[in-house]
Structure 1
Amino acid sequence: MTTPYEPKIAALLCVDLYNDFLSEGGKLFPWIRDIAKENNMHENLRTIIKTARQADITVYHVPHHRWEPGDYVNWKYPSPYQLGAAERQAFAKDTWGGTFHDDFQVQPGDIVATEHWGSSGFPNTDLEHQLKRYGKEKIICVGLLANTCLEATARIGMELGFHVTLVRDATSARSHEALHAALDIDGPTYAHEVLTTAELVAAINASASASASAV
């Protein structure tokens, strides 16, 4: 049975919904284009965010660090992933690529966490604080990439005591193998729910109806 998503304690975490990932011409869009098209990711993200807003579930934006000149130069142990992002100037600050996609802009009432430098949205950011200060216990994680920032954010969320939901068709990866590993091998070891968009929307709507009836 799918968990209820009570608006008071549920939050939708939108991870790295930048133009560089989601738009034609984005530096990283070629990585995810084919799988995103196969699973209808863009439309599913729109549906999930719209459903969450209608149900009064708070939308949290969980943004990756936006590259600036000098990043990682004096770091002792930057990861290959970080150095690759610097080489590509991924999500460069004050550029179109480092701006949220037009369909996923910040709206009144949304919360924007501080930018994460590694894969997870939690370490060295205010995300945990911003969730707990508003009593959020259940996090629905969508965005990119399935096997990097999304998985790392969701996994650390579980370690911090949150109830975690992954959504199969609201993410993408560079390969089917990476997507399979993230959702079918790794995901079930820490996530409490691994749902489709249709299943999540049905659960949110049912929870909203139950909350309205209880008033």
Structure 2
Amino acid sequence: MSKPLYPLDRTAYLLVDPYNDFLSEGGKVFPMIQPMAEQNGLLDNLRKLDRAVRSLKIPVVIVPHHRWEKGDYEGWDHPTPTQCKIMHMHHFARGEWGGDWHPDFAPQEGDIVVQEHWGSSGFANTDLDFRLKQQGITHVIIVGLLANTCIEATARYASELGYHVTLVRDATAAFKAEMMHAAHELNGPTFAHAIVSTQELIDSLNRQPVA
């Protein structure tokens, strides 16, 4: 892998799916990721990263999954298994608590909130690439949920579009340890330019010259 260098004026922090259903006690999906989230220190690491990137004035980009609404996916020719689960379980329902932002990671003034993605990739059928290019972004740091689905799909797509891609292994979670292993040890090294811990990333960012 190439050495992770982060030009602060061309780097963006992509936070994927920071919903209550994923990150809060009582969320519909939280019990399924809780073991991995607690093992990783996910919430504390996301808080540390949020403070670090904001202190360096790195753009924060919220990359949200489509919020379920009545009728979604019904009548589709081939919804994915995940979309079928969302249809039946009403994950991230629009207008409900589970579809609200986790209070620690809600967008702040100046943050970019891109169009909601229907599948796994934050780039597919959204304005994410356009919004990043308008900011002159060449490097993306991708964190959030889930490691082996939306994070991986978004990161793969980013690499195909020519971005420098960083994954943060303890700023994400998945349903099983095997999924985390696949995301960071098997699949990630084939497309990501850097796979680091939260502290390693913060140390690297703080070593970069301020533009």
TM-score by length of 2: 0.97
Counterpart mapping for 1:83-162 below 5 A = 83-162=84-163
CA RMSD of aligned residues (A): 1.0
Which residue of structure 2 lines up, in the alignment, with residue 211 of structure 1?
A: 210
C-alpha distance in 1 between matches for 2:195 and 2:123 = 20
What is the CA-CA distance between 1:205 and the residue it aligns to? Answer: 0.8
Q: Deviations over 1:31-84 (max 9, x none)?
A: 110111011010000111110010010000000000000001121111111011
Which residue of structure 1 lines up, in the alignment, with residue 77 of structure 2?
A: 76
C-alpha distance in 2 between matches for 1:2 and 1:179 = 23
* Aligned residue identity for 1:211: V
What is the CA-CA distance between 1:3 and the residue it aligns to? Answer: 2.1
Which residue of structure 2 lines up, in the alignment, with residue 55 of structure 1?
A: 56
Kept after mapping to 2: 8 A contact 1:20/1:26: yes
Kept after mapping to 2: 8 A contact 1:2/1:203: no
TM-score by length of 1: 0.96
C-alpha distance in 1 between matches for 2:199 and 2:129 = 28
C-alpha distance in 2 between matches for 1:148 and 1:69 = 24
C-alpha distance in 1 between matches for 2:81 and 2:197 = 32
* Aligned residue identity for 1:71: D
What is the CA-CA distance between 1:4 and the residue it aligns to? Answer: 2.2
Kept after mapping to 2: 8 A contact 1:9/1:137: yes
* Aligned residue identity for 2:103: D
* Aligned residue identity for 2:210: S
Unaligned runs of 5+ in 2: none
C-alpha distance in 2 between matches for 1:68 and 1:151 = 25
C-alpha distance in 1 between matches for 2:109 and 2:9 = 17
SS at match of 1:166: strand
Question: Percent of counterpart pairs with the same letter?
Answer: 52
Q: Deviations over 1:142-181 (max 9, x none)?
A: 0000000010000100001100000010000000000000
How many residues are matched? 210
C-alpha distance in 2 between matches for 1:76 and 1:184 = 34
* Aligned residue identity for 1:164: V
1:64 equivalent to 2:57? Answer no
* Aligned residue identity for 2:5: P
What is the CA-CA distance between 1:2 and the residue it aligns to? Answer: 4.2
Unaligned runs of 5+ in 1: none
SS at match of 1:211: coil
What is the CA-CA distance between 1:109 and the residue it aligns to? Answer: 1.1
